[in-house]
Amino acid sequence: MSRKQLTIGILGGMGPMATADLFQKIINHTPAKCDQEHLRILIDNNPQIPDRTAALTGKGPNPTQELHKTAEGLIRSGADFIIVPCNTAHYFVHPLVKEFHVPVLSMIKSTADYVCENYPEVKKVGLLATSGTIGAGVYSEVFHEIGLDVITLCPEMQEELVMGAIYGLEGIKAGYIKGPRKKLIKAAKMLEKEGAEVLLMACTEIPLALRPDDADVPLLDPTDILAQAAVKKALGGC
């Protein structure tokens, strides 16, 4: 007898395009030959969750209450586990996990496992992420535990190239792609020069602009890695 498929709950809206991107990637990774073989997925696209980076830098309200409310709604609706398509939000979600009676599949842990399995010789990982994710140590803490160094841009270049690409007036969150892509390619090249052997697109907006061939080292998409892990879990894997 085949195992019961689990229902995925996507705690989304951070931002809406990143949520849609994760949904599409789950569909792409599902080995389905007809509609009925696809997974049941519940999505709460809640763009009213306060900005995570603003909260971490003391420039905005804490998103914890809205994250908790959104997750609880997904659980009441039947989600067997939850995934969060926002890297920075993991800083706020992690302390809430013990309050839920369903698991939260971590994008950060899934990415660390993927790097260890597929790039065992790598020692330096370049991080393209929001300043909030970097400052909170969302990735560095997990990666240091497995013996990998995480390198980032200097504060000035981080603000100009990465934060500008994501949050700028003509940034990804405003619906632009071409200009942000140029900034992010420059940022990627700088991290490569610093010795990065793989690069993580550790903000869910970044894969909307960068392409796999934009770097000379592997350019990994944690959103895609999370989608693969979610499909595996929903189909009865670990």
Q: What domains can be seen in the chain, in order of their start residue?
A: 8-107+224-234 (3.40.50.1860), 108-222 (3.40.50.1860)
The pLDDT value recorded for residue 120 is: 96
Q: Quickly tell me which residue has 């690409």 as its tokens.
A: 165
Rounded CA separation 200/210 (Å): 11
Reading phi first (left if > 0) and then psi (alpha if -120 to 50, else beta), residue 13 is in: left
Reading phi first (left if > 0) and then psi (alpha if -120 to 50, else beta), residue 196 is in: beta
**Contact between 56 and 91 (Cβ < 8 Å):** yes
Torsion angle in degrees (nearest 10) through CA of 100, 105, 107, 112: 120
Residue 132: name the closest of 206, 184, 208, 55 by CA.
55
The residues annotated with a catalytic role in the active site are 86, 203
> Which whole-number Å values give the CA distances from 14 to 52, 101, 109, 187, 226, in the listed order?
9, 23, 19, 23, 15
Under DSSP, the state recorded for 202 is -
Q: Which pair of structure tokens corresponds to residue 232?
A: 């595996």
SS3 45: strand
SS3 36: helix
Rounded CA separation 68/73 (Å): 9
SS3 172: helix
Q: Which pair of structure tokens corresponds to residue 112?
A: 């660390």
The pLDDT value recorded for residue 4 is: 84
Q: What is the pLDDT along the chain (238 residues), one digit of tens a residue?
A: 356 899 999 999 998 999 999 999 999 999 999 999 999 999 999 999 999 989 988 899 999 999 999 999 999 999 999 999 999 999 999 999 989 989 999 999 999 999 999 999 999 999 999 999 999 999 999 999 999 999 999 999 999 999 999 999 999 999 999 999 999 999 999 999 999 999 999 998 999 999 989 999 999 999 999 999 999 999 986 5
Rounded CA separation 221/144 (Å): 19
The pLDDT value recorded for residue 1 is: 36
DSSP alpha helix (H) spans, the chain: 16-29, 52-56, 64-76, 90-93, 107-118, 131-136, 140-145, 155-157, 164-167, 178-193, 222-234
